[in-house]
Structure 1
Amino acid sequence: MAVPKKKTSKSKRDKRKATWKHKATIQAQKALSLGKSILSGRSKFVYPTQEEEAEEE
């Protein structure tokens, strides 16, 4: 016979939601930091620019 599951406590639910939101915040900070480094010219990786793409064609 089917038995209902136990109710998840509010603290567990809130903790799970806080973790999820914190991960999103970290990713947003990384994206902003990467954008700033690209604009300032201090980026540590190579990415194609419009001039390089025009030369290849």
Structure 2
Amino acid sequence: MAVPKKRTSKSKSRKANWRYKAFSVSQKSLSLAKSLLSGKSRNFIYYKDMPDDI
């Protein structure tokens, strides 16, 4: 006799995906902020004091 499969909850997996995405974005931004504060960043050109000729 065929027995129907138990349905899995989609809301729990969606919530887990949302939390993982938010966590990964926060880790990237924290890492970028640390590299900018340390002064070893080579990916960005930024001015601490704005030059007059720009």
Structure 1 residue 41, shift from structure 2 partner:
1.1
Deviations 1:13-53 (A, max 9, x none): 100110011100000000000000001112121322133x2
| Unaligned segments of structure 2, at least 5 residues | 1-6
- Which structure's residues are more often helix, by fraction? 1
Structure 1 segments (4+ residues) deviating >3 Å: none
Bigger Cα displacement from structure 2, 22-31 vs 9-18: 9-18
Question: What percent identity do the matched residue pairs reach?
Answer: 40
**Structure-1 residue corresponding to 2:12:** 14
- Higher relative contact order structure (alpha carbons within 8 Å, sequence separation ≥ 6): 1
> If the length of structure 1 is used for normalisation, what is the TM-score?
0.66
| Aligned alpha-carbon RMSD (Å) | 1.9
For structure 1, the 5+ residue unaligned runs are 1-8
Return the letter of the residue paired with 1:18: A
Tell me the residue number matched to 2:31. 33
Q: How does 1:46-57 map to 2 (within 5 A)?
A: 46-51=44-49, 53-57=50-54
TM-score (norm 2): 0.69
Shift of 1:12: 1.5
